[in-house]
Structure formats: structure tokens, C-alpha cells
Structure 1
Amino acid sequence: MLTLTLAFILVLLLLYVLGVPVAYAIGLSAIVVMVLPVGPDFNAQVIAQRMYTGMNSFTLLAIPFFLFAGRIMNVIGMTSDIFDFAEEAVGPLPGGLGHVNVVVSMIFSGMSGAAVADAAGLGTIEYEAMTDRGYEPGFSAGITAASSTIGPIIPPSIPMIVYGVMAQVSIGALFIAGVIPGILMGVSLMGMVTYIAIREGFASRNAYNARKLLGTLVRAAPAFVAPVIIIGGIISGYFTPTESAVVAVMYATFLGAFYYRSLDGETLYAVIKKTFIDTAALILIIGLANLYGFLVTISGVPRYLTETLLTVADTAIVATLLLVVVLLVFGTFMETLAIILITVPILAPTFPGLGIDPLVFGIVMMITLMIGLITPPFGVVLFVLERVTNLDLLDIIRGVGPFYIPLFAVLLLVIFVPDVVLFLPRMFGFA
């Protein structure tokens, strides 16, 4: 039965290399394998049932609502208010706008939940602001790329929702578990910015202006309420992660219509249309991935993988480190959601036998895949920034280089000290 999965992987890689979209590559691979004479007989009804089962999930309803809320907040003018506040709050520190870049990404992550969206949406603003103030272009692009990795770690996070559904882990627990690691990523990046700024002599503002700081805080205050609603509502038990996404949509729409007064019918229609298109693509991928998960289950791959890892890894930490290496390699040339959908059905059943906490591994996986997005040769965020900055790709890679140190430091901390992940979920009764 192992032949089923091997055949699937070979067909999938072939289609991926040929440039076939992820959804169709997964679906076609599964269907091709099911009709090959290498396993049990299947019929069309099995294909339909497995796809429907994968899409028929209340939890997945959170995806379109979080996408919608994030896009609303991005188009109504909230981003500029966040940037102004961050500039007043951390601009005077050594490294100035480098710190602003990180703080804006941490706040914006509560709206987008995606590294590529952060790099594409804020990348131009952050990069141009830094280069206009005299910051070296490579450094500016490097910190922009590194800070974008925080997006899927601090809730809400679309990749976390998909992981939670595939691994059957509480979405609320994942959201809360990502808070401390996400903050640590931001603080560690700011530490590296300070070091580079002092070493290279990058400019920063002379002093704080309390009046300006207070004024920008008041204008940016609505942006801070969104993550408070999401996390606070989940922690308090007032609503589930899916319901919190609906509340976030209502809040974002209210802000756009009545506070910023910039949400007109045309803009709303464009946001709804884009949300529908992206949601349809994601749900199609998830449905087809469930068909693939079915093939993995009946092939016995999880049992085989568990036995193999137990022969080379005598502790959960060693097993986790081995899996991190594999995920990091995948993350350099594959999309985040594709990796989650392909690997989690194989890995999740191995966790009990290996002694790995699925909640901790979820955060480890998110951080690893985010680092993969900014890792050569094919890191997606690197190519996004190449397009929006018009810099040479090698200059961007050199700029990112120093920031691998703090990101890997946080990753190793999470692996070796899992309480960093489990502290808040335990405090609020999720783990």
C-alpha cells in the first residue's frame, strides 16, 4: 500500500514542476493514483465523498470571514494610521524605521494573517519610507522580508486554521499559542535591527514627542481593537474562532462605513469578489487534500514513518528537529498551504507514537514554513519583494541574511522550551 503514496508524490511533483496550480495538482495526482493498478479499487463516489467531507467543516467558515475582515481593514486607510503610530512609538530607537517595520507587521498580522500579504501589502510602503530616509536598500528589503514572517504566527492565521482542521487541533488553542512566539519573533528582530543600526550608523529620530505619540495612538486605536476582539472573545468563551471571524467582519465594516467613511459600494464589491475567489480556491484545495489524506491513511504511511523515525530519533525533540529540516527544505520552493495539506495527513498520526505535542508542533511548523518563505533559492516572499522594490534578488538575500539568526533562535526556543507555546493555552484552559 505504500506504493500508493509514492506514486502520488511522484505525480504531484511532476505536475508541480510543470506549473500546474496546487489545487489541480493535488486533485489530479490523487485521481491518477486511484485509477492505477497499485492498490484497491475505487469508484467516483469515493472521490466525491472524500472531497465533500474535507470541505464540510464549520471551522473552515472562519477562512472567508478572516480574509474579508483583513481586506476591509487594509482598504479603509487603517494601514497609514498604524504606520504613523509605530513611527512615533519606536522611531526614536537606534534603527528607527527598521523597528517601525517590525511593529507595523506585528499589528498588521492581526488583519492579514499571511506573510505574502504582509510583504505585498506593506512591502512598498515600508521599503519606500526607509529608503527615502536614507536607509540602505538591501537592509530595508531584508527587514521587510523578515518581519513579514510574523503574520501567520500572531492570530488570526489562515495557515493555523488549515493545520488545525487537518491535525484535529483546537483553532482557539493554536491562536492563543502563537501570541508569545509571535511577540518573541518581533522583539528578536528588533534586537538585530538595533545591533545593525549601531554597527552601521543608521539614522534615527532624536527624541520622542509625547503629543504626537498620543495623537497617533488615538487614531490607530481602532486597529488594536480587532485582535482584542478575536483573542479576547475566544479566551472569554463568548464565541468560537469561527464566530470571532464574523465579529471581525462586522467590526471592520462598521469602521469603514462610519469611522473612516472610506468604504463605498464599489470598494465593498471589489473586496467581496476577491474574497469569494480566494476562498473558493482554498476550499477546493482543502477538499482535494482530504482525498489525498484518505490515500495516505489506507496506505499505512504514518505507521511506516513513525517506525522509521523511532529508529533514528530517541526523543520527541530529535524527531521534531528532523521534521523541521524536511519542512524547511519544502518551504523554500513550495507554498505554505500546499506543504501543510500534503504533510500534515502524514505527520499528524505519528505524533502520539513520537511523543510530539500537536499544538507545539503546529507553532513549530508555522515558524519553520515562514522561514522557508524567505530562504533562497525560491522563497516566495523574496520574489514578491524583488517585484515591489525593483532590487536585485541577491541584494535582498544579503539583506535578509542577519535576520535568520533571531528567527532560528525563536524556533529553537519553541522546540526546546515548549512551555513558551503552552503557557497561555494552559492558563486559559485550552491545553
Structure 2
Amino acid sequence: MMELAIIGLLFLGTLLALYAAGMPVAVAMGLTCLVIMVSPYGDGINYGLISTQLLFGLNSFTLLAIPFYLLLGRLMNHIGMTQRIFRFAGALVGQFRGGIAQVNVLASMIFSGMSGLALADAAGLGRVEYRAMRDHGYDKGISLGVSGSSAIIGPIIPPSVPIIIYAVLAEESIGELFLAGIVPGLLLGLLLMALVYALVVRREYDAREPFDPEELKESFIGAAAAILTPLIIVLGILSGYFTATEAGAVSVVYVILVGIAYGELTAGGLYRELRDSAVETFSLTFIVAVAALYGLIALQLQLPTLLAEGIGAVTTDPVGALLLIVLLLLVVGTFMETIAAITILVPILLPVIELTGIDPVHFGIVMILTLMLGLLTPPFGVILFVLEKVTDASLEEVMYAVIPFYLPILVVLLLVVLFPGLATYVPGLMPG
């Protein structure tokens, strides 16, 4: 245990110190690797090893999914699908008790197929959702809580950028992991809606919109193209017509055609979205490339083996081991962005889950669910800061507002840990 503590302090402590100093995560990981190489535990700087790992860390067909899904989200936002989805969700459930609050959750569930990133949901849809609830008489607390908690559904229901990153690093199927997120994502949405209803009844809110069949029809027609996008992805993967990467390409072509048909996508607009998504893609893939080197250094230090032995000394039960890892991820998720946490921890934790017999697909969903909770957890939960920026609330108000919404997230996380079938059943339906 002493050796694990020393190596862990050198390996993770250096990284966290650099990260806390404000360095980008990829640069912090790269410098940590150099520090390890020149330390007593390393063999000196090996330029051949560095260049090889950076090159082959990106030599993956699976990584092609990243630019496709990033571009897909940007294009769908560009042509106004966010507003169409929110309008349809309002027409669908706005007539029920606490309807506008339920619209918040429902819109986030549908919007998850557009961005795949919790921060994109909180920043893009959060402002709209928060203002709509405030306009209907809801207090700051419930408006902030619903807007923040519903945003974390995005990276769980496909498509999801964190899932793609995990799949690449874990060498698992993106399609299986996309499908594995469906049931936990829907379950989380339903439990959030149940909590919202309980809070609305308790606080005696009754802001309803009269049901208008004509508005429901018109809003559905307007939102149909947006709703169809994630269905194309999921059904295409399930049917075996294309892989998750190919589904991203098909969806991009589909959305471009829809944008042209809407008259809202010009050549200039398409160029800007291509340019901006290329910048985002470079940022993410650079992190993945450095993570390949970081993971190799971890293996050379035998850190995964030491960690596995440490967990094995406490418990050999898969559920017990998974709960210990969840506790670690909860701590990490409070101060580290999701993509960074995944790229750093997956190479270290994979040998542990293999040793304890945990399904990698099941673990991927557990990991992302846990890190999503970290985004809402003080003192450094990123969504808390996003909500502070896009609303008129203080950071303290945001922190207090999200506390009741930890309950459904923790319930879903515990259920997925205890019942792996919630994550693995749908992927089992894939052909072959």
C-alpha cells in the first residue's frame, strides 16, 4: 500500500497540481509523463515511445465518430431545432401539474440527441428552460435544480461524446455503449420528472398551459426532424445497417438536408460550423492522443496492478469493487471535467474491472453516470458555474438548488450498479 501511495502521489499528484494551476488537461498529462520518465521510477525520456504513442493513439476508425457527432450537434443548434423541441415538449406535457417544469426534463431528454454533452445542454437549453420556469411563477430554487439536473441526461442517452471517448480508450463498441445508455437515461428522466411533480405539489405550484391539439400537431411537425435524428442513430445501430460511426455520418448528411429544406442553413453557416467543430475535434483528439501515452506510463509503473491489489485487499466482490470505484469517481468528478476524468482514469481502472470480472460496457455507463453527478457537486461542479453564468442566480443559490435533485441521480446510479442488466440488456439485442 505504501508503494501505491508513493507512485499514486507522483503520478496523479503531479497531474492534479498542474491541472489546478490552470494548465489544459492534455498539456498537464504530457508534462506528467515527462516528469515520470525523468524520475527514479522512469527510464529517461524516450522520444520514439512518445511519438509512437501519440500517433497510434489516434489511429482508430472509432475516433471518426467524434467529428461527426460534434458537427451534428452544432448543425442541429444552428438550424433552430432547440426551440422546436422545447415548443413540442411544452405542447405535449404543459397541461399537466407542473407542466413547464416537466417540459424542462422532457426537452433535455430529446435534446440529448443533439449535443451529447452536459455542458452544451446546460448552456444552450438551460437559459431557455430557466427563464420559461421563472416566467410561469416558479422560484429560483426549483428552476435552477430542474435545469441543472436535467442537463446530465445528455451524455447518457445516445449520441454521447463521453461514451465515444470511453469506447475508444476501453476498446469497446460505441454502438453497444450507446445502446447501454438508453434505459438508464430514460429511467433518470422519469425519476427526475417524478421528483419535480412531488416538489410542485408540495410547494403548491399549478402553472399549467391549456391543452391545444392544434398546437401539439404543429409543434410535432416542426420538431419531427429533430426527434427523428436520434432514432436514425439508435435504430440504425440496432438493425445492423451501420455502425455508430457510420450513423454519425448519415445523421450529419440528414441534418444538412433538413437545414437546406428549412432554408436556415447557408453555405457560409455550414462553413462556420465545419470550422468550429474541427477546432473542437482537434482539442478532444489531442487529449485522447496524450491519454494513450499517459496510459502506457501508468502500465509501466504497474499502477493499475497496484490499484487492483489495493481494491482486492478490501473486497473481491464485483459489486463491492464497483462501489469503491464509484466513490473514487464521485471525488474526481467534483473537480475535474468529464472528458478529462475519463481519459485519465480509464487506462488505470480497466485492469481493475477486468480482474474483478465487471463487464466493461456496464462499467462505462456507471462511470459516466457517476461523473455526471460530479458535474453538479460543489465546490467545483462545472454545471454549477454554467448555470451561474446563464441565469440571474448566484453560485451559492445554484449549489443549494441542486441538492434535492441528487436523490434520483443516486437512485439510478445504485440501481445500475446492482442490476447490470439495466445497461447490458439493450446492447444484447444487437445483431451478432
Alpha-carbon shift at residue 203 of structure 1 (Å):
2.4
Alpha-carbon shift at residue 198 of structure 1 (Å):
0.4
Q: Residue 413 of structure 2 aligns to which amino acid in structure 1?
A: L
Alpha-carbon shift at residue 4 of structure 1 (Å):
5.8
TM-score (normalizing by structure 2): 0.96
Q: What is the CA RMSD across the aligned residues, in angstroms?
A: 1.4
Matched with 1:255 is 258
Determine if the alignment matches structure 1 residue 188 to structure 2 residue 191.
yes
Determine if the alignment matches structure 1 residue 363 to structure 2 residue 379.
no
Which range moved further: 237-246 or 39-48?
Answer: 39-48
Q: Residue 238 of structure 2 aligns to which amino acid in structure 1?
A: I
Aligned counterparts of 2:208 and 2:169: Cα–Cα separation in 1 = 47
Matched with 1:350 is 352
Determine if the alignment matches structure 1 residue 422 to structure 2 residue 396.
no
Matched with 1:405 is 407
Alpha-carbon shift at residue 397 of structure 1 (Å):
1.7
CA distance change for structure 1 residues 404 and 5 in 2, over 3 Å: closer, same or farther? closer
Residue of 324, 339, 344 corresponding to 2:326: 324
Determine if the alignment matches structure 1 residue 171 to structure 2 residue 174.
yes
1:70-111 CA-partner distances (Å, limit 9, x unpaired): 100001011111111100111122211110000110011001
DSSP 3-state at the match of 1:79: helix
Determine if the alignment matches structure 1 residue 137 to structure 2 residue 140.
yes
Determine if contact 1:152/1:160 at 8 Å carries over to the other structure: yes
Alpha-carbon shift at residue 36 of structure 1 (Å):
2.9
Q: Residue 407 of structure 1 aligns to which amino acid in structure 2?
A: I
Residue of 56, 59, 81 corresponding to 1:56: 59
1:295-353 CA-partner distances (Å, limit 9, x unpaired): 01121112211111111123111111111011011101101011111111011112121
DSSP 3-state at the match of 1:332: helix
Matched with 1:202 is 205
Aligned counterparts of 2:123 and 2:328: Cα–Cα separation in 1 = 27
Alpha-carbon shift at residue 265 of structure 1 (Å):
2.6
Aligned counterparts of 1:405 and 1:175: Cα–Cα separation in 2 = 24
Structure 1 stretches lacking a partner, 5+ long? none
Aligned counterparts of 1:351 and 1:399: Cα–Cα separation in 2 = 35
Determine if contact 1:108/1:118 at 8 Å carries over to the other structure: yes
Aligned counterparts of 1:32 and 1:41: Cα–Cα separation in 2 = 9
Matched with 1:314 is 316
Determine if contact 1:331/1:369 at 8 Å carries over to the other structure: yes
Determine if the alignment matches structure 1 residue 237 to structure 2 residue 244.
no
Alpha-carbon shift at residue 134 of structure 1 (Å):
1.1
Determine if contact 1:109/1:152 at 8 Å carries over to the other structure: yes
Q: Residue 109 of structure 1 aligns to which amino acid in structure 2?
A: S
Matched with 2:26 is 23
Aligned counterparts of 1:145 and 1:428: Cα–Cα separation in 2 = 33
Alpha-carbon shift at residue 175 of structure 1 (Å):
0.3
Determine if contact 1:4/1:33 at 8 Å carries over to the other structure: no
Residue of 138, 159, 163 corresponding to 2:162: 159
Alpha-carbon shift at residue 264 of structure 1 (Å):
1.6
Q: Residue 151 of structure 1 aligns to which amino acid in structure 2?
A: G
Alpha-carbon shift at residue 393 of structure 1 (Å):
1.3
Structure 2 stretches lacking a partner, 5+ long? none
Aligned counterparts of 1:275 and 1:125: Cα–Cα separation in 2 = 23
DSSP 3-state at the match of 1:55: coil
Aligned counterparts of 1:273 and 1:206: Cα–Cα separation in 2 = 41
Determine if contact 2:34/2:45 at 8 Å carries over to the other structure: no
Q: How does 1:379-390 map to 2 (within 5 A)?
A: 379-390=381-392
Alpha-carbon shift at residue 209 of structure 1 (Å):
2.1
Determine if contact 2:239/2:431 at 8 Å carries over to the other structure: no
Which range moved further: 59-68 or 198-207?
Answer: 198-207
How many pairs align? 429
Residue of 368, 376, 379 corresponding to 1:377: 379
Q: Which runs of 4+ in 1 moved over 6 A?
A: none
Alpha-carbon shift at residue 429 of structure 1 (Å):
4.5
Matched with 2:89 is 86
Determine if contact 1:35/1:42 at 8 Å carries over to the other structure: yes
1:38-61 CA-partner distances (Å, limit 9, x unpaired): 222442111000111111111011
Aligned counterparts of 1:322 and 1:295: Cα–Cα separation in 2 = 24
